[in-house]
Amino acid sequence: MQPGTDRALSRLSGSLLGPLSLLFKAVSCLNLGIKALRSRSFPQLFIISVDSLSFGGTGKTPLAMAIGEALEARGARFALISRGYRSRHEKDGIRVQTGHSFLDVGDEALMLKARFPNQEVFIGRDRLRSIAAATEAGIRILVLDDGFQSSHIRKDLSIMLVNPAHPYFYLRHFRFLARCADQVLLYRGDGSAPAPGNAGYGFAISGFLDAGGRRVEIGDSSLIAFSALGDNGRFARDMERFNLAAFRSFADHHAFTAEDLRSLEALRREKDAAWMVCTEKDFHKLRAMLAPGAGARRDGFPDFPLLYARNTIQLPDGFIAAIIDHAKRKGLL
């Protein structure tokens, strides 16, 4: 296909998808407002909701993990509740076990369970069912990863992450959405100051780990990187701070195959790179393939040089401490 034809098709698809996108967003907002009219309260629980206006890529899961680490450091028992997007158990819901695969529970839930093996993780489209399961297990502190869609559930604290570069940014002006968040954080990946009245957040790679969870010092070694996120550009920009020889993007929640690994390994060899680096979320999808006896191993990768980047969310001073204080005032810490 000629470049001119590509541009024409792109303009045509944009003109068609724009109105459809606007209609979808309008219907979604209306649905959220209707559900909020019959919202349920859970006074015996402390429910924290980490939300976003975008479909993905703003950092909801890293923030949920940061909150979880702070709670766990204080000896708290809590549950992380995620949807399990595109997983086998998204519809019926399930308590996540360490032996589950990402096909069973989704990549984000698998990462959450790996990070917090001694805490409970629940998935399911029906958040009320997950809350009931957590309550039955005697857990009173709940962290909802992307609880924004559950406007029928009243939260003790709602945190909205907003990336001004994402297409949903204009929705911040809707009064209903403004009432849905107790705290709004604006992404400032370019280092710019946040808008007046809004706190900013960012990300920093705090280290690289191998399959055994051991830190690896990469120094100035050449590397290639890849990711399957809602915002691959963010990870690519973070990796450019290192000796990055090439970067490859995949669709969000992409299910990696042995062919993907062969292609990435070929790229690493072509660039004469020492390491391949992926995100922590993507690593947990690849772990089963890289285990001894797995297909990828049989296909010729006995010493696959794969690391994953530990990406840490950077928050305003005192942000996490305020959440902990909130839980203390409710008598849960």
> Which residues share a beta bridge with 227?
249
Radius of gyration (C-alpha) of the chain in whole angstroms: 21
Is residue 11 scored above 90 in pLDDT?
A: no
Is residue 302 scored above 50 in pLDDT?
A: no
Measured between its terminal Cα atoms, the distance across the chain in Å is 62
Mind giving me the DSSP string for 270-306? HTT-SEEEEEHHHHHHHHHHHSTTSHHHHTT-TT--E
Which of the residue ranges 26-30, 103-107, 145-149, 281-285 would you say has the lowest mean pLDDT? 26-30
Question: Under DSSP, is residue 1 helix (H, G, I), strand (E, B) or coil?
Answer: coil
Could you report the per-residue pLDDT of 131-156, keeping only the tens digit for each? 999 999 999 999 999 877 776 888 99
Mean pLDDT for the stretch of residues 168-191: 64
Q: Burial level of 122, CB count in 10 A (0-12/13-18/19+)?
A: buried
pLDDT for the residue 170: 52
DSSP 8-state secondary structure symbol assigned to residue 168: G
Is residue 306 scored above 80 in pLDDT?
A: yes
Is residue 308 scored above 70 in pLDDT?
A: yes
DSSP 8-state secondary structure symbol assigned to residue 123: E
Assess contact for 307 and 208: CB atoms under 8 A.
Answer: yes
Helix count and strand count (H, E) for the chain: 11, 12
Question: CA 191 to CA 323: how far, in whole Å?
Answer: 25
- By percentage, how much of the chain surpasses pLDDT 90? 55
Question: CA 220 to CA 259: how far, in whole Å?
Answer: 29
Which of the residue ranges 102-106, 169-173, 241-245 would you say has the lowest mean pLDDT? 169-173
Question: CA 114 to CA 308: how far, in whole Å?
Answer: 14
pLDDT for the residue 24: 54
| Sign of torsion over alpha carbons 129, 132, 137, 143 | positive
pLDDT for the residue 4: 46
- Give pTM, 2 decimals: 0.82
- By percentage, how much of the chain surpasses pLDDT 70? 76
pLDDT for the residue 169: 55
Mean pLDDT for the stretch of residues 298-311: 73
Alpha carbons within 13 angstroms on the beta-carbon side of residue 288 total 13
Answer with the residue of higher pLDDT: 11 or 36.
36
Could you report the per-residue pLDDT of 41-83, keeping only the tens digit for each? 899 999 999 988 766 678 899 999 999 999 999 999 999 999 9
Residues in the chain: 333
Answer with the residue of higher pLDDT: 149 or 112.
112
Is residue 15 scored above 60 in pLDDT?
A: no
Neighbour count for residue 313 (Cβ, 10 Å): 21
Q: What is the chain's mean pLDDT, rounded?
A: 82
Using CA atoms, how far residue 239 sits from 66, 152, 223, 232, 309, in Å, is 21, 39, 9, 11, 9
Could you report the per-residue pLDDT of 211-258, keeping only the tens digit for each? 888 999 999 999 999 999 988 998 999 999 999 999 999 998 899 998
pLDDT for the residue 239: 95
Is residue 87 scored above 80 in pLDDT?
A: yes
Question: Under DSSP, is residue 196 helix (H, G, I), strand (E, B) or coil?
Answer: coil
Assess contact for 140 and 44: CB atoms under 8 A.
Answer: yes
Mean pLDDT for the stretch of residues 173-177: 51
What residues contact 285, with CB distance under 8 A and at least 6 apart? 102, 107, 110, 228, 255, 256
What residues contact 266, with CB distance under 8 A and at least 6 apart? none
Is residue 198 scored above 70 in pLDDT?
A: no
